[in-house]
């Protein structure tokens, strides 16, 4: 028996397996979405905006993992939004749940084979930038892949050219045209007063960061920190998808030892609940311009 984390377990899904899942979904819905949305913690209500919905629990989809985190419904929703066909993940998968990076990013591979061209990723994150307020929405302009620094990159292992190139350029990870559209949409919707733009850093979790770790991330240039998003963006770019990232600042990280503040998941979910309507309005109107 091979040890957990061995090379073979890191290369779990083949192109044919991804295609089998995509073909199953295509056979069970008439919708052909060009845009996919991944909903972060507490942000699954974005899928509630869809009309003409077809809902697939993850456990019903061949080879799909199952989300285990509170605030993640665990279902794939096809539907229409502002006249556009959309597929929406209500709940994502995380490295800290015990999944390897290939499993975490499996849905993105499937999306590419469904014909999706644009991926919108959302998440809940902690604010490292001192000028950010709880409830701000950060437009992600770049990312720091901390697990990748430690060798946990979803592109490790044999490369299949049918998905993308062996050595992937990531200097254009987040689509600049989509960012401009998002800013204009925020201005139109009156959301620009709490719209920020910054760098998202992924850590493995599930522990929240220590004070010393937060200071390190600030020194590296990170404006917000979370436990997701980066692997999906890497694979989306590998598959040629355009990416837009939106991060909801649900708490301010603790950087002073004298502080008595303690971050917790319930606080994260409560903040997303109060700001969800604004984020829904922003995404909904942005969809019409993509």
Identify the CA nearest to 223 among candidates 193, 246, 186, 196.
196
35: nearest Cα among 244, 279, 276, 185: 244
Task: Give the dihedral sign, CA 33/37/39/43.
Answer: negative
Three-state helix/strand/coil letters over 144-162: EEHHHHCCCCCCCCCCCCC
Q: Is 171 a catalytic residue?
A: no
Beta strands in the chain (DSSP E): 35-39, 51-57, 75-81, 84-90, 118-127, 137-145, 195-202, 224-226, 242-252
Given 17, 159, 265, 267, the catalytic residue: 265
Q: Is 89 annotated as catalytic? A: no
Active-site residue (options: 94, 112, 145, 232): 94
Q: Is there a catalytic annotation at residue 251?
A: yes
| Closest among 85, 80, 77, 109 to 13, alpha carbons compared | 109
The residue annotated as part of the active site, out of 47, 58, 72, 173, is: 72
From the candidates 67, 125, 145, 228, give the one annotated as an active-site residue. Answer: 228
Q: Which residues on neighbouring strands pair with residue 139, listed in sequence order?
A: 197, 246
Q: How far apart are CA 61 and CA 11, in angstroms?
A: 20
**Selected catalytic residue, list 36, 41, 174, 202:** 41
47, 67, 97, 224: the active-site residue: 97
**227 is an active site residue:** yes
Q: How many CA atoms lie within 13 A of 218 on its CB side?
A: 18
Verify whether residue 228 is a known catalytic residue.
yes
Rounded CA separation 246/182 (Å):
9
Q: Is 284 a catalytic residue?
A: no
Which of 100, 145, 251, 285 is labelled catalytic?
251
Buried b (16+ CB within 10 A) or exposed e, 259-279: eeeeeebeebbebbeebbebb
Per the residue annotation, which of 96, 117, 159, 184 is the catalytic one?
Answer: 96
41 catalytic? Reply is: yes
- Cα Rg of the chain (Å, integer): 18
Give yes or no: 99 in active site: no
Catalytic hit among 227, 236, 276, 284: 227
36, 89, 124, 182: which one is catalytic? 124
Based on the residue annotation, tell me whether 28 is a catalytic residue of this protein: no
Question: For this structure, is 131 an active site residue?
Answer: no
Q: How far is residue 173's CA from residue 239's CA, in Å, rounded to a whole number?
A: 12
**Active site (catalytic) residues:** 41, 72, 94, 96-97, 124, 227-228, 251, 265
């Amino acid at each position: 028996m091979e040890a957990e984390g061995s090379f073979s377990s890191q290369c779990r899904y083949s192109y044919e397996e991804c295609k089998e899942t995509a073909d199953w979904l295509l056979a069970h819905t008439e919708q052909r979405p060009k845009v996919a949305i991944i909903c972060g913690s507490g942000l699954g209500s974005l899928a509630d905006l869809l009309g003409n919905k077809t809902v697939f629990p993850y456990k019903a989809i061949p080879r799909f993992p199952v989300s285990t985190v509170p605030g993640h419904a665990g279902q794939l929703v096809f539907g229409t939004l502002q006249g556009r066909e959309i597929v929406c993940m209500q709940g994502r998968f995380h490295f800290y749940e015990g999944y390897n990076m290939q499993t975490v990013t499996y849905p993105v591979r499937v999306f590419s084979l469904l014909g999706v061209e644009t991926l919108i990723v959302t998440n809940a994150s902690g604010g490292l930038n001192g000028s950010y307020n709880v409830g701000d929405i950060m437009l992600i302009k770049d990312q720091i892949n901390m697990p990748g620094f430690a060798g946990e990159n979803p592109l490790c292992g044999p490369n299949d050219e049918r998905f993308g190139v062996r050595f992937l350029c990531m200097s254009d990870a987040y689509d600049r045209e989509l960012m401009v559209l998002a800013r204009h949409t925020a201005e139109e919707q009156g959301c620009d007063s709490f719209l920020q733009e910054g760098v998202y850093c992924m850590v493995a979790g599930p522990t929240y960061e220590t004070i010393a770790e937060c200071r390190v991330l600030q020194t590296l240039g990170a404006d917000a920190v979370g436990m997701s998003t980066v692997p999906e963006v890497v694979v989306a770019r590998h598959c040629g998808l355009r990416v837009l990232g939106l991060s909801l600042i649900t708490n301010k990280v603790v950087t002073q030892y004298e502080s008595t503040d303690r971050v917790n998941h319930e606080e994260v979910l409560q903040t997303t609940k109060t700001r969800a309507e604004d984020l829904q309005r922003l995404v909904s109107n942005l969809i019409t311009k993509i």
